[in-house]
Each structure stands twice: as C-alpha cells, then as structure tokens.
Amino acid sequence: MGLYDRNYIQQHSHESAYEHTGVNESSLGLFIKQTYQLFAASLLAASAGAYVGIGMAKAITSWYWGLVILEFVFLFGLYAFKRKAGINMILLFGFTFVSGLTIVPLLSHTLGMPGGASIVANAFILTTVAFGGLSVFAMNTKRDFSAMGKMLFITLIVIVVAGIINIFFHSPILQLAIAGISSILFSAFILYDTQNIIRGAYETPIEGAIALYLDFLNLFVSLLQILGIFGSRDE
C-alpha cells in the first residue's frame, strides 16, 4: 500500500473513513512540512559549499570532474539509503554541499565579469521569485501537471545530450539555447514536483526535498548562464 493510498479509505465504513481521512491529511501535512524543511536545509548546505569553494576557485576547477563524480555517488547513495535514518541525512547534505562546490567555476567566472555580483544576485532573485510563484500556483490550481512527467524527462535527456555535445564545440549560441530551454524545463519541473509532493506521491520527504532542490539549482544555473551571456555581450 502506498504511503497515502486513497483506496485504503474506501475499504472502511463512513465513520472509519472520516477518521482515517483526518489521519491521512495530518500525515500528509507533516510530510509536506518535513519536505520543505529539508529543501531549505539543502539550500543552506549548497550555499555553504559555494561559499567555501569560491575562496579556492582554481582548485575547485581542477577538481571539477572528480567533484561531479562524488556528487553522483552521494545522490545514488541517497536514493539507496533514503530510509536509513542518519545515513540519509549525511548523504543529503553531502550531496547538496558538493553540488554547491560544483557551481563554483560558473560563479567565479560570472563574478569576474563587470557587474558580476549583480548578475549573480539577479539570477538568485529571479529563481526565488519564479520558484515561489510556480509553487503557489501548483498548490492552488485545479490543473493536473502529473501527465507532463514523460515529456519532461525526455526533454531533460535531450538537454543533457546537447550539453555534452557543447562541451566539445563551446558554442555560445548553443549554450544560450540550452540555458533558455532548461529554464523553461525546470520551471515546468517545479509545477510537476510540487503537485507530486502535495499529493503524497513520494515515499519519503527526502525524495521530495531533493526533487525541489534540483529544480531550484538547475533553474538558478540556467538563469545565471543566460544573464552571464548577455552580460558578456555588454562588455
């Protein structure tokens, strides 16, 4: 039985169903609260990673691919041990801290541009406003975004492949196109993941938190790249 299986209620009398609905709603409310608490803590861990890494940006750049591999190790480990109390928290914050380190080369490059600090600040503000607005919309709309899942994951695969290709071509135009599509894609993922969370589609709060964290992080990176590209053209 799923964590929030609505069919479970239908197997009882009306009186029992009312009781279980109350318990279910209470459990879901706690689940949502824990998810967003972990999401906020994940952002803090990533910010700490970026803060620590920015002071040694050259070293981080030289270690970049090793950190990316470590990031994936933490992520896969997190899903493998998502129900192991203690271990799952270590893996969650290990992953988010390292992911903060891996965006240091982009942050360092942007901060080195004229007005770079403003570009980073604007990207963060835009990301926060977009994330908040889309989350509120997803929570209150009657539209169902769950059907978008397959389309979103296919688009994600295309974006990843295009990004790998551009590692070799270093095309600013292709990078701008990737960043633009990515910003739309992860905005859609915010709608999709938020509705999954409020409907109890995830087994654990950690899964919901990491989904929101990845949406926020990737939207921020996409917007930072877009603003950085246009900022470099103004030089």
Domains in the chain: boundaries: 6-233
**8 A C-beta contact, residue 81 and residue 207:** no
* pLDDT given for residue 28 in this prediction: 84
* pLDDT tens-digit map of 123-146: 999 999 999 999 999 999 999 998
- CA 114, CA 117: separation in Å to the nearest integer? 8
* pLDDT given for residue 106 in this prediction: 95
* pLDDT given for residue 21 in this prediction: 40
* pLDDT given for residue 133 in this prediction: 97
Residue 17 neighbours by CB under 8 Å, 6+ apart: 9, 10
pTM, 2 dp: 0.87
> 3-class DSSP state for residue 12?
coil
* pLDDT given for residue 11 in this prediction: 35
* pLDDT given for residue 186 in this prediction: 97
* pLDDT given for residue 232 in this prediction: 67
> 3-class DSSP state for residue 50?
helix
* pLDDT tens-digit map of 222-231: 999 999 988 7
Q: Where are the alpha helices (DSSP H) in 55-171?
A: 57-62, 64-80, 87-102, 104-111, 116-140, 149-169
Angstrom distances, CA of residue 219 to CA of 138, 140, 226: 17, 22, 11
Question: 14-54 and 87-102 are packed helices; what angle lies between their axes, rounded to 10 degrees?
Answer: 40
Other Cβ atoms less than 10 A from the Cβ of 84: the count is 13
Q: Provide block-wise average pLDDT over 10 residues at a time, the chain (235 residues).
A: 34 36 69 95 97 94 95 95 92 97 96 93 97 96 91 95 92 93 97 94 93 97 94 62
Provide the residue type at 5 as one letter.
Answer: D
* pLDDT given for residue 229 in this prediction: 87
